[in-house]
């Protein structure tokens, strides 16, 4: 079975093709990862690769209370405990570096300033996990952003660069830039939203891709392309991403550009488990054809569908999200056909160990036939 075959991931040697997808778990008190974070990831080190939860590159890039950052010395020290724990357990770990752009709220920003984006349009219907008017943590409608000046775009690219360097200092095997789910990078890519009239936006696809590509180039020049990956969600509608006329052309142009950069990987995320199906099978095949490097896919996979995608050559690695939450030993369970435990959705984002580090590894002995169904 290909899922359990080793893979050469830019010099790392994962023993299987199962990746733990990035998942925000909102447990970082004061945005600093701690021993509980280290335990959580250590328990899941059987994954071929772990990609951490989205971690903000700056205060400005923050959209969720209790999400960790990687822009202060304390955060870097906290992450070092995590990478050491995962490496000790024989695993490999990348950090997801993100800037939410307009999916934020003034109560999360320095001096309650407006969040920033490619343009000053509010993400209708989107929420941030911030402070409500009474000062209590809550999901609140996002604030109206202001548009970044051309000069400031250079500063944001530099924030990504510094976060990537901090990630290396913290012992990560690489970084995944968060170009998915309607956050800042996609706010530049999306042609319905990005109507800027400078070199970073407007009608021309090359302009809308410029921020993402320049950021990738700066990061990979600093830490190496083999330590740099990116996550995208083409045609995704999360966080108010509207359709636009040259949508497929835009994503394939990006695929072509990324292909020449010899990155660790490109990670495509389909949002259908979140109620926003995005990529057709034809589109995936076209993306695969244009992008010649390592391709990772995520979104609703079970064992059978993952095997199928690998067998069809649609992807090289498969990322599993929610199955890793309740099954720290997911790789072992899939391999042996053990049943999968179900996630308790009430503790996804609660503080503390409950629903975080207290899911046990499989303790039974005999494979359960219903597992085959659960895992497919
Ligand atoms: C609790 C939770 C938190 C998530 N947080 C992130 C995140 O921080 N960054 C990201 O790119 N995707 C995030 N996702 C999306 C997952 O990475 C994944 O793409 C999605 O869950 C679909 O895969 P699955 O069907 O295997 O769960 C999150 C998903 C879940 C369930």
What are phi and psi for residue 49, nearest 5 degrees? -150, 140
Biggest CA pair distance of the chain: 63
Q: How many domains does the chain have?
A: 1
Cα 21 to ligand 1 centroid, rounded to whole Å: 6
Burial 58-96 (b: 16+ CB within 10 A, else e): bbbbbbbbbbbbbbeeebbebbbbbbebbbeeebbbbbb
User: Residue 161 is encoded by which pair of tokens?
Assistant: 């660069």
What is the whole-number distance in angstroms between the Cα of residue 23 and the centre of ligand 1?
Answer: 5
Task: Compute, in angstroms, the gap from residue 322 CA to the centroid of ligand 1.
Answer: 7
137-160 pLDDT per residue, tens: 999 999 999 999 999 999 999 999
In this structure, are strands 18-20 and 317-320 parallel, antiparallel, or unpaired? parallel
Q: What CATH number has the domain bearing residue 198?
A: 3.20.20.70
Ligand 1, atom 21: closest residue by C-alpha: 321
Q: In this structure, which residue's CA is closest to atom 31 in ligand 1?
A: 322
Kindly state whether residue 334 falls inside one of the protein's structural domains.
no
- Confidence band for 346, pLDDT divided at 50, 70 and 90: very high
Q: CB–CB of 201/194 below 8 Å?
A: yes
Q: Read off φ and ψ for residue 206, nearest 5 degrees.
A: -60, -35
To test the ligand 1 pocket, which listed residue (3, 18, 20, 23) has its Cβ within 8 A of the most ligand atoms?
23
Ligand 1 atom showing the smallest separation from residue 322 Cα: 27
Give the ligand 1 atom nearest the CA of 67.
8
Cβ contact 62:24 at 8 Å = no
Rg (CA), the chain: 20
Q: Cα 251 to chain center, whole Å?
A: 18
CB 171 within 8 A of CB 165: no
Cα separations in angstroms, 77 against 35, 163, 235: 11, 13, 37
User: What's CA 364's distance to the chain center, in Å?
Assistant: 33
The closest residue, in CA terms, to atom 29 on ligand 1 is 23
Please give the full DSSP string across 38-71, using - where no structure is assigned.
HHHHHHTTTSSEEEEEEEESSSTT--BTT--BSS
For residue 318, the CA-to-ligand 1 centroid distance in Å is 13
| In a domain? residue 154 | yes
* pLDDT given for residue 350 in this prediction: 76
Whether residue 24 lies inside any domain: the answer is no
pLDDT digits (tens, 9 = 90+) for 172-211: 999 999 999 999 999 999 999 999 999 999 999 999 999 9
Instruction: Report whether pLDDT(367) > 80.
Output: no
Name the strand (E) or helix (H) holding 142. none
State the pairing for strand pair 228-232/265-269.
Answer: parallel
Choose between 350 and 258: higher pLDDT: 258
Alpha helix (H) residue ranges in the chain? 35-43, 73-88, 150-169, 184-189, 205-223, 247-259, 281-290, 303-311, 322-326, 330-336, 370-374
Catalytic residue selected from 183, 200, 291, 356: 183
200, part of any domain: yes
Quick one: tokens of 277?
């199906």
The structure tokens 């969720």 sit at 64
Q: How confident is the model at residue 365 (pLDDT cuts 50, 70, 90)?
A: low
Residue 191 placed within a domain: yes
What domain range is 181 assigned to? 2-15+29-297
pLDDT tens-digit profile of 285-328? 999 999 999 999 999 999 999 999 999 999 999 999 999 999 99
The pLDDT of residue 373 is 38
Residue 324 in domain: no
> For residues 351-364, b (16+ Cβ closer than 10 Å) or e, as one string?
eeeebbbebeebee
Contacts of 216 (CB under 8 A, 6+ apart): 177, 228, 230, 258, 261, 263
185 CA → ligand 1 middle, Å: 17
> Could you please report the per-residue DSSP string of 293-325?
S-EEEESS--HHHHHHHHHTTS-SEEEE-HHHH
Ligand 1, CB cutoff 6 Å, lining residues: 21-24, 53-54, 96, 178, 180-181, 231, 269, 273, 298-301, 320-323, 348
The number of helices, as runs of H, and strands, as runs of E, in the chain is 11, 12
- For a ligand 1 pocket test, name from 322, 330, 331 the mutation site with the most ligand atoms within 8 angstroms of its C-beta: 322
Residue 148 has a pLDDT of 98
| 200 is annotated as an active-site residue | no
Q: Whose CA is nearest to atom 2 of ligand 1?
A: 23
Residue pLDDT, tens place only, 224-281: 999 999 999 999 999 999 999 999 999 999 999 999 999 999 999 999 887 776 899 8
In a domain, 328, yes or no: no
314 belongs to a structural domain: no
Structure tokens at 69: 């950052």
Quote the ligand 1 centre to 53 CA distance (angstroms): 8
Residues 12-69 pLDDT 10s: 999 999 999 999 999 999 999 999 999 999 999 999 999 999 999 999 999 999 999 9
């Amino acid at each position: 079975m290909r899922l359990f075959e080793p893979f050469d991931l830019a010099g790392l040697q994962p023993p299987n093709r199962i990746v733990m997808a990035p998942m925000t778990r909102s447990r970082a008190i004061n945005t600093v990862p701690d021993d509980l974070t280290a335990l959580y990831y250590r328990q899941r080190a059987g994954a071929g690769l772990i990609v951490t939860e989205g971690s903000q590159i700056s205060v400005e890039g923050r959209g969720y209370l209790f999400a960790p950052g990687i822009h202060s010395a304390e955060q870097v020290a906290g992450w070092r405990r995590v990478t050491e724990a995962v490496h000790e357990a024989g695993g490999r770990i990348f950090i997801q570096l993100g800037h939410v752009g307009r999916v934020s709220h003034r109560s999360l920003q320095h001096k309650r300033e407006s969040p920033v984006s490619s343009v000053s349009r509010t993400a209708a219907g989107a929420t941030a996990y911030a402070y409500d008017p009474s000062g209590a943590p809550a999901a609140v409608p996002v604030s109206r952003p202001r548009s970044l000046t051309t000069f400031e775009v250079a500063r944001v690219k530099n924030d990504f660069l510094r976060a990537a360097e901090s990630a290396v200092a913290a012992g990560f095997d690489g970084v995944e830039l968060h170009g998915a789910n309607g956050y800042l990078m996609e706010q530049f890519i999306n042609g319905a939203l990005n109507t800027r009239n400078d070199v970073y936006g407007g009608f021309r696809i090359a302009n809308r891709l410029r921020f993402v590509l320049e950021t990738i180039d700066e990061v990979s020049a600093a830490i190496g392309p083999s330590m740099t990956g990116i996550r995208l969600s083409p045609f995704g509608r999360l966080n108010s991403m509207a359709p636009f006329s040259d949508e497929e052309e835009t994503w394939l142009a990006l695929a072509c550009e990324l292909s020449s950069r010899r990155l660790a990987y490109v990670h495509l995320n389909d949002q259908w488990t979140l109620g926003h199906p995005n990529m057709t099978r034809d589109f995936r095949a076209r993306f695969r054809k244009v992008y010649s490097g390592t391709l990772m896919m995520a979104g609703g996979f079970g064992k059978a569908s993952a095997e199928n995608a690998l067998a069809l050559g649609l992807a090289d690695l498969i990322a599993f999200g929610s199955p890793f939450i309740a099954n720290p030993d997911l790789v072992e369970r899939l391999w042996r056909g053990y049943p999968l435990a179900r996630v308790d959705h009430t503790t996804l984002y609660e503080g503390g160990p409950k629903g975080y580090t207290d899911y046990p590894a499989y303790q039974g002995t005999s494979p359960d036939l219903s597992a085959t169904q659960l895992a497919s």
